[in-house]
Structure 1
Amino acid sequence: MAAVKLEQYLASILDSTKSDTNEVKIKPKNINFDLFRVFLENRNTGVHRYQTTASTILYEARGSVKARINDQNFLLKAGNIVFLQRKSNYEILQQGENDILVKLEFNRNFKMLDFLGNYSVMDSREKKVFKAITDAYNQKRLLFLNSTALSISANALKKVIDEYLNQDLYTRQVILAELNLLLIAAVRNQDLATAPVTNHQFVQTDLENYIDAHFTDITLNDTAKHFGFNPNYFSSLVKQKTGKSFVEHVDERRMQEARNLLARPDISVKEIIARVGYSGKSFFYKKFSEYYHETPVQMRAELFRQANINLK
């Protein structure tokens, strides 16, 4: 079943349900399947409160919902995945009429982090990552994946749900392989966060101060790490809170510095390019012209004229 068709099928179940229960159970094709059960969050009003009875996965298939999980606030967007330990508390606080939140509730004997594969065959670096994930999962009682609807992790989980619904040969083995791929892809793409990003406080002035101190060699990953965010989420957060992308903020600071340096006759344009953090003349000229609508040479001439500097 294609991803779009799967979402349409899940939406049709919610649209046709007349029950006022907080969750709607989806039965597998094979009634003897016992690895997990699948539920959809009903769209009835009110706060939905739960305590997990086993390892559980929450997956936002479409839309976004506000949730509180283990006393931490989340905004789950399409493609986001949350792994929960047994006896975790969560509340679905707000959802829209088109949202689709899926819950996979595993049997009590299943260990969620077995998805990462055989520990004994991992190399030293992989074991280090595995330990960090395990420690975070045990401490926070959750793992948050800031994946998108088109990510490998989200597509793997869609295949898991599809296998649950259709129950073909080797369904259990395919599901375990897809869950393994889901976590590995999340680690590789840096989608895996140990705690919800909404717990961190974003202050624009702090970002501006950090850029001011590091604009010559700044990177998104380093900046996100400094503020305690997942890089993908941090990039979206900066855009959402300030109306400008992270790159635009960095370019703005570099352009301001370039203008200041152009007013100094003792520094060449070539040196200015290096000082503000650009690696090539053509790229710098392109950015400069986009920002100031004139070339660095034209601006320098005008700055010199204003300051009565004559180099002839």
Structure 2
Amino acid sequence: MFMDSRVLSRLKQHELIEVKQLKTGKHVEDLPKEAIYKKNESTNIKVSNNYFFRNRDIYISKHDRFAAYPKHSHQFLEMNYMLNGTCDQIVDGKNVHLNKGDLLLMDVGCTHSIGKLSENDILINLLFRDQSISINFLDDMRRSNSVLYDFLLNRVSGESNTVRYIIFRNNIDNDIRYTMEDIITEYYSKREFSNSIIKEYLSILLTKLVRHYHVSTDKRSPQQQLVIKILKDISEEFRDISLEKLAKKYDYNKNYLSNFIKREVGIPFTTLVMNQRLIQAHNMITSTNLPISEIIEDIGMKNKNSFYKKYKAYYLMMTGDERK
């Protein structure tokens, strides 16, 4: 299995910014103003916002070569994949060296700068939002007790991570490399249903990372195990689930369970249910041609105005923009 030669050839070509950086050796700003959420005045750190996800769940780009990239952070999760060559970065103040086939996963808010890349150094940036990680996917990995699982679970449950980044070294059988390069090929080929296919590839990639880079951690507490069960219930029964049903299922007082969910997850039960409905709606909007009215009904909502308002607040765009 090899990387698609046409995609690889395209990635090796000099982009306009690369031509400029090759001549001067100095960084050329590659982000439009609307992609910058803010600048930290004291440290001058750029913070990239959700600009990249206006029409997709996952954004992929080649990192520009021939000049060092300044310190910055993101409001989303980021993977750096070393497709070819090597690179040096400073991630959360620590030196990180990546070789061909290595993958760096960084949490929201993790700062990093990237050293100058040479002609044969191809670094791929893969960006994805928390919403791209499903509870079902995480629950499937529950028994792996891995650092990666904890890392991703914390992102979904709203907790802050003590581990801000993880480095995955190239494995002997190239299993992870094949999946990552399938994602890159699918993205740049721009074929029909590519967004949905890439989302599935991402789940496969994350699962493979857990399988190949298993690191044991302390077992989760009974409270955390209950949270996972409840989140899975919500993800499967979001259309008609209620706090009363959950309280009866797990033999808890309704008010106690409501407070428990809010305390452990950081989000009220009603918000969790609404978020899952919006995620389901988003999946249907981007992968089918069903009328929006049918989708609204399918996810268990009746008030269309409320749906549109909540959808825009969650995805930062209207439903019509998703299908342009």
Query: Structure 2-normalised TM-score?
Result: 0.47
Query: Structure 1-normalised TM-score?
Result: 0.49
Structure with greater Cα Rg: 1
